[in-house]
């Protein structure tokens, strides 16, 4: 099947990848999160480049397997998934659609662009970011811990609706 | 062109620091004072183990003898480990763990920031990845130094004792030997002495805010970078390497 595919079919491949959920945050796809950096043909082999969100993220190898399984199920049998470290993944690559899905799922999306993120030395001096509660939209929230259920998230609680929630940190 | 054995040595030091501290933090898993801290310590450990894989795989590649991160982590003896003494110090109480983390994170942050400009693209890209993670580690450990230092009488006493106990292990962070100097000459890594002032500035400002007193500069305990370790490393390795030693080549 791969032989008959051309450049224009890459859009189809990307659409299929848009249906592969992130194993840790299944509300968003690997495309929404910006983990898939490139999809290309190397002769008749399809190459999908992915980048880890965090160096030790155990989901990275599962993501590679899920991508491979999903594309094989679509009939692509000549493919390889390669890992790319640079440039390092940033939350700026989460799509607007991905941000909406995160919020609807109960995870507050990153509150600033990494381009604006100050170094820790400056960060210590500024006011904490205002994180909006994904449930009741209150801005009256507190950080409970810099790390949540996964390295990419911090734990917050809302002082109005009293619900705890995850915040997807800017990185 | 840098001597590949010096580069191998340098990469081992970077990888071993992350590995041993990551292992120490993972010892807290299930024992932390609160669930949130259990998660946070395990997450920082995970970041460090992830960074270990990147550094040690690169070390194995540079060495060219077919060793990868797993072989290097599981099949070397204590004298072949190159981590600084600070990271192998016992967890102690929560204050000791967070003091050790803060003193290391501040240095780690500054070091990785310099390494992002390394002339070796492989080093630069691992550093850029790690720097993002370590930025959060530093923010968190600094918060804990503040909270415990400027907390209750008891928390202050414990944090002050932790800083006093660990201080003699910080001198080693800023020393350079012939391996480090070779890296500086080739533009691969920074002169560690240049990290001292910004490190001390951050540590001093944090200590002041936390109402802590920094010890006077004094004698520095050293040796880890050359494989001369405290008695603690052997116990760490007995735990870390048990499975591969007892069941060689076991996989799951």
Q: Is the distance from CB of A146 to CB of B40 less than 8 angstroms?
A: yes
Mean pLDDT of B41-62: 96
The predicted model gives A9-36 an average pLDDT of 93
With b for 16 or more beta-carbon neighbours within 10 A and e for fewer, the B126-163 pattern comes to bbbbbbbbbbbbbebbbbbbbebbebeeebbebbbebb
CA gap B135, B190 in Å, rounded: 19
A148–chain B Cβ distance below 8 A for any pair: yes
pLDDT in tens, B67-85: 999 999 999 999 999 999 9
Q: What is the pLDDT of residue A3?
A: 47
Which pLDDT score is estimated for A126?
67
- Better-scored residue on pLDDT, B100 or A119: B100
Note the pLDDT of residue B33: 85
pLDDT at B16 over 60: yes
ipTM above 0.90, yes or no: no
Domains of chain B, each with CATH number or no CATH: 4-246 (1.20.1260.10)
pLDDT digits (tens, 9 = 90+) for B203-252: 999 999 999 999 998 889 999 999 999 999 999 999 999 999 999 988 87
Q: What SS3 string covers A31-87?
A: CCCCCEEEEEEECCEEEEEECCCCCCCCHHHHHHHHHHHHHHHCCCCCEEEEECCCC
Domain ranges for chain A, please list them.
2-83, 96-168
CATH superfamily of A2-83: Fe-S cluster assembly (FSCA) (3.30.300.130)
Task: Summarize the confidence of residues A132-155 as an average pLDDT.
Answer: 89
Token pair belonging to A30: 């690997």
Contact residues, chain B, for A119 at CB < 8 Å:
135
Mean pLDDT of B108-119: 96
**Do B53 and A58 make contact, defined as CB atoms within 8 angstroms?**
no
Under the banding of pLDDT at 50, 70 and 90, the label for residue A118 is: low
Radius of gyration of chain A (CA): 18
Write out the two tokens for B108: 């780690």
Query: Cα dihedral angle (B200, B210, A145, B26), rounded to 10 degrees?
Result: 60
Closest CA to A20 of A77, A80, A66: A66
Picking from A53, A58, A59, A145 by the largest number of B CB atoms within 10 A of its own CB, the best residue to mutate is: A145
pLDDT for the residue A2: 47
Coil, helix or strand at residue B65: coil
Whether the bond into B165 is cis, omega within 30 of 0: no
DSSP string, B8-54: HHHHHHHHHHHHHHHHHHHTTTTTSSSHHHHHHHHHHHHHHHHHHHH
Q: Which residues partner with B136 through β-bridges?
A: none
Place of tokens 């001369």: B228
Q: Which of A117-121, A140-144, A150-154, A159-163 has the lowest mean pLDDT?
A: A117-121
Mutation target vs A (from B40, B48, B139; most A CBs, 10 A cutoff): B40
pLDDT tens sequence across B33-47: 888 889 999 999 999
Count of all residues that appear for chain B in the document: 252
pLDDT average, residue stretch B13-31 = 97
| Residue A1 confidence (pLDDT) | 46
Cross-chain residue pair A149–B46, CB shorter than 8 Å: no
The pLDDT assigned to B214 comes to 97
Output the pLDDT for position A57.
82
């Amino acid at each position: 099947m791969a032989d008959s595919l051309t450049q224009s079919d890459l859009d189809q491949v990307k659409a299929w990848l848009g249906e592969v959920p992130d194993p840790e945050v299944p509300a968003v796809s690997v495309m929404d999160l910006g983990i898939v950096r490139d999809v290309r043909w190397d002769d008749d082999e399809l190459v999908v480049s992915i980048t880890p969100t965090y160096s030790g993220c155990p989901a990275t190898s599962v993501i590679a397997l899920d991508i491979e399984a999903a594309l094989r199920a679509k009939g692509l049998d000549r493919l390889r998934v390669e890992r790319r470290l640079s440039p390092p993944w940033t939350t700026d690559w989460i799509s607007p659609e991905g941000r909406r899905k995160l919020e609807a799922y109960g995870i507050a999306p990153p509150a600033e662009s990494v381009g604006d993120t100050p170094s820790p030395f400056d960060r210590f001096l500024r006011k904490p970011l205002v994180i909006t509660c994904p449930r009741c939209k209150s801005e009256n929230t507190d950080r409970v811990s810099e790390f949540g259920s996964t390295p990419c998230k911090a734990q917050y609680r809302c002082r109005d609706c009293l619900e705890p929630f995850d915040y997807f940190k800017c990185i | 062109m840098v001597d590949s054995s010096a580069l191998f040595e340098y990469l081992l030091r970077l990888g071993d620091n992350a590995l041993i501290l990551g292992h120490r933090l993972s010892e807290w898993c299930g024992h932390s004072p609160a669930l949130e801290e259990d998660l946070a310590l395990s997450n920082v450990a995970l970041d460090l183990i992830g960074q270990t894989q990147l550094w040690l795989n690169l070390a194995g590649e540079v060495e060219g003898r077919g060793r990868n991160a797993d072989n290097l982590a599981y099949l070397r003896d204590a004298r072949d480990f190159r981590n600084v003494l600070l990271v192998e110090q016992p967890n102690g109480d929560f204050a000791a763990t967070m003091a050790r983390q803060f003193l290391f994170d501040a240095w780690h942050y500054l070091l990785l920031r310099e390494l992002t400009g390394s002339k070796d693209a492989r080093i630069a890209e691992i550093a850029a990845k790690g720097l993002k993670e370590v930025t959060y580690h530093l923010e968190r450990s600094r918060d804990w130094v503040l909270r415990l230092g400027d907390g209750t009488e008891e928390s202050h006493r414990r944090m002050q004792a932790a800083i006093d106990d660990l201080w003699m292990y910080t001198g080693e962070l800023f020393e350079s030997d012939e391996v480090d100097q070779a890296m500086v000459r080739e533009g691969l890594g920074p002169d560690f002495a240049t990290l001292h002032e910004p490190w001390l500035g951050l540590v001093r400002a944090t200590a002041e805010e936390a109402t802590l007193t920094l010890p006077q500069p004094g004698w520095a305990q050293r040796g880890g970078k050359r494989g001369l370790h405290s008695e603690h490393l052997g116990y760490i390795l007995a735990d870390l390497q048990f499975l591969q030693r007892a069941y060689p080549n076991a996989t799951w």
